[in-house]
């Protein structure tokens, strides 16, 4: 669509487009087709115009029925507070999934990042040659028992 | 002159003046009425309903053409007005805002009706479907109904392919008959913006129409 058409289309609808506009339409098939289609659709839109002779007046008691509708909607909105709908549960499920994913990734990074106790240290704990003599342990136990009796 | 204009507080429009003064809508008597309704004054809300109910009924009937459903849709429109009035920010006149709600409600209704019809038809035999299709919608006057009805169905389908804003703009321009200048004043937008938006909306309609014409008929 060429600029002259976009610029002057509104004027064309009012029958005020310039000669240059019409000359362009005569020369440019693409613009001519699109303008014709737009005008045709605008014509179709007249079908949505209310017909004055078939006008419909609000029936008696319309306002009263409207207030009932509003009260009913207010009640349903109030209940809606206590019984959240599908979107609420969808949000909860999504939040739970996010939480699980977060926890999972935390655990994984913790396991890989923290290598646990050094194997050499564990071996040293179980290394009997490195431990204190057995007699020393026994003496410490006897002292503990003696103080307990006292 | 558009049919909504009677309710507009922009006197310049009625005089056909080319100089558009943007009215501070909030300071008009109607603005004061809206303020009262926003503060919870039920009599003010009632006044708004009584002032615009005829217009709303007329717009709805123009779009859906189903007398039986007009009141239900109008109730939905005014219920929405009631619940959203607090958020009304005076960027347009009240009737422009109500008009937008009404148009959206009508197309929502037509969309839901189409879905209901498809679900209903899926449970029926071909003969039953044909019988139902021939029996509805009931035209107001049976005379020149057929082709007019087909044209209406077609344009309703096309309008369903554009955004709510574009729908509202197209309806105000092509159905209500407002000029670009008037729309600019009513919607507080630049005239060029309105022109561009309208042009894009029409282009969308043309594309939708081309697609619809190519699609196999149901």
Give the CATH number of domain B5-153; options: 3.40.50.920, 2.170.190.11, 1.10.1740.10, 1.10.10.60: 1.10.1740.10
Query: CB-CB: which of B79, B154, B175 is closest to A70?
Result: B79
Q: Regarding predicted confidence, which is higher, B42 or A75? A: B42
Query: CB-CB: which of A6, A59, A63 is closest to B199?
Result: A6
Which chain B residue's Cα is nearest to A8? B195
What does the pLDDT average to over B43-53? 96
Cis peptide bond upstream of B137, omega within 30: yes
What does the pLDDT average to over B177-189? 92
Identity of the highest mean pLDDT range in A136-150, B107-121, B156-170? B156-170
Would the CB atoms of A66 and B174 count as touching at under 8 Å? no
Residue B68 has pLDDT above 80, yes or no: yes
Q: Which helix (H) or strand (E) holds B87?
A: none
Q: What is the pLDDT of residue A83?
A: 63
Identity of the highest mean pLDDT range in A134-138, B12-16, B119-123, B159-163? B159-163
Q: Regarding predicted confidence, which is higher, B111 or A113? A: B111
The SS3 of residue B74 is helix
* Nearest alpha carbon to residue A56 among B43, B140, B41, B196: B140
Which chain B residue's Cα is nearest to A70? B79
Q: Regarding predicted confidence, which is higher, B13 or A34? A: A34
Q: What is the pLDDT of residue B12?
A: 34
Residue A101 has pLDDT above 60, yes or no: yes
Would the CB atoms of B75 and A69 count as touching at under 8 Å? yes
Give CA A142 to chain center in angstroms: 70
Chain A interface test: which of B45, B62, B145, B157 (most A C-beta within 10 Å): B62
Residue A107 has pLDDT above 60, yes or no: yes
What does the pLDDT average to over B98-105? 96
**B104/A contact by beta carbon, under 8 A:** no
Q: What is the pLDDT of residue B152?
A: 87
Q: What is the pLDDT of residue B130?
A: 58
Residues 6+ apart with CB under 8 A from B53: A58, A62, A63, B74, B78
Would the CB atoms of A38 and B202 count as touching at under 8 Å? yes
**Residues 52-71, chain A, touching B (beta carbon < 8 A):** 54-59, 62-63, 65-66, 69-70
Residue A123 has pLDDT above 80, yes or no: no
Residue B187 has pLDDT above 60, yes or no: yes
What does the pLDDT average to over B47-60? 95
What does the pLDDT average to over A3-23? 92
Q: What is the pLDDT of residue B215?
A: 74
**A78/B contact by beta carbon, under 8 A:** no
pLDDT above 90 coverage of chain B, percent = 56
Residues 6+ apart with CB under 8 A from B51: B7
- At residue B128 the predicted structure's pLDDT band, cuts being 50, 70 and 90, is low
Q: What is the pLDDT of residue B174?
A: 94
Q: What is the mean pLDDT of chain B?
A: 80
Note the pTM of the prediction, 2 decimals.
0.67
What does the pLDDT average to over A59-82? 86
- At residue B10 the predicted structure's pLDDT band, cuts being 50, 70 and 90, is very low
**Residues 59-88, chain B, touching A (beta carbon < 8 A):** 59, 61-63, 67, 70-71, 74-76, 78-79, 82-83
Q: What is the mean pLDDT of chain A?
A: 82
* Nearest alpha carbon to residue A67 among B39, B81, B32, B60: B81
Would the CB atoms of B175 and A45 count as touching at under 8 Å? yes
Q: Identify the weakest region by mean pLDDT among A108-112, B45-49, B60-64, B158-162.
A: A108-112
Residue A129 has pLDDT above 80, yes or no: no
Would the CB atoms of A57 and B54 count as touching at under 8 Å? yes
Q: Regarding predicted confidence, which is higher, B189 or A123? A: B189
**A45/B contact by beta carbon, under 8 A:** yes
Would the CB atoms of A41 and B79 count as touching at under 8 Å? no
Residue A126 has pLDDT above 80, yes or no: no
Q: Yes or no: say if B169 and B162 are a contact pair by the CB < 8 Å rule.
A: no
pLDDT above 70 coverage of chain B, percent = 73
Domain ranges of chain B: 5-153
Q: What is the pLDDT of residue B11?
A: 34
Q: What is the pLDDT of residue B16?
A: 38
- At residue A52 the predicted structure's pLDDT band, cuts being 50, 70 and 90, is confident
HEC letters along B96-155 = HHHHHHHHHHHHHHHHHHHHHHHHHHHCCCHHHHHHHHHHCCCCCCCCCHHHHHHHHHHH
- CA-CA-CA-CA torsion for B70, A69, B6, B177, nearest 10 degrees? -50
Q: What is the pLDDT of residue A115?
A: 61
């Amino acid at each position: 669509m060429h600029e002259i058409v976009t610029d002057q289309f509104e004027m064309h609808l009012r029958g005020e487009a310039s000669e240059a506009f019409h000359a362009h339409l005569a020369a440019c098939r693409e613009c001519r087709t699109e303008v014709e289609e737009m005008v045709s659709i605008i014509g179709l839109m007249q079908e949505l115009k209310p017909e004055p002779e078939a006008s419909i007046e609000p029936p008696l008691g319309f306002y009263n029925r409207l207030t009932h509708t509003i009260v009913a909607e207010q009640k349903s909105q109030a209940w809606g507070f206590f019984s959240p709908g599908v979107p609420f549960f969808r949000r909860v499920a999504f939040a739970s999934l996010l939480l699980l994913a977060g926890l999972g990734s935390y655990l994984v990074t913790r396991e890989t990042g923290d290598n646990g106790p050094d194997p050499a240290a564990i071996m040293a704990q179980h290394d009997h040659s490195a431990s204190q003599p057995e007699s020393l342990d026994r003496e410490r136990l006897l002292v503990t028992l003696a103080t307990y009796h006292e | 002159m558009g049919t909504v204009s009677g309710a507009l507080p922009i006197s310049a429009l009625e005089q056909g003046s080319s100089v558009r003064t943007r009215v501070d809508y909030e300071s008009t008597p109607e603005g004061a009425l809206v303020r009262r309704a926003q503060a919870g004054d039920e009599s003010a809300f009632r006044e708004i309903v009584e002032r615009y109910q005829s217009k709303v009924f007329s717009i709805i009937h123009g779009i859906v053409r189903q007398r039986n459903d007009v009141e239900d849709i109008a109730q939905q429109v005014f219920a929405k007005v009631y619940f959203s009035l607090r958020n009304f920010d005076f960027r347009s006149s009240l009737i422009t805002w109500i008009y937008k709600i009404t148009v959206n409600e009508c197309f929502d209704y037509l969309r839901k009706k189409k879905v209901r019809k498809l679900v209903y038809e899926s449970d029926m035999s071909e003969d039953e479907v044909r019988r139902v299709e021939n029996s509805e919608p009931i035209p107001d006057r049976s005379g020149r109904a057929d082709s007019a009805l087909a044209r209406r169905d077609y344009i309703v389908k096309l309008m369903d392919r554009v955004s709510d804003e574009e729908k509202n703009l197209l309806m105000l321009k092509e159905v209500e008959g407002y000029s670009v200048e008037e729309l600019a004043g009513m919607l507080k937008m630049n005239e060029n913006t309105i022109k561009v938006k309208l042009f894009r909306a029409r282009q969308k309609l043309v594309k939708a129409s081309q697609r619809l014409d190519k699609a196999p008929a149901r």
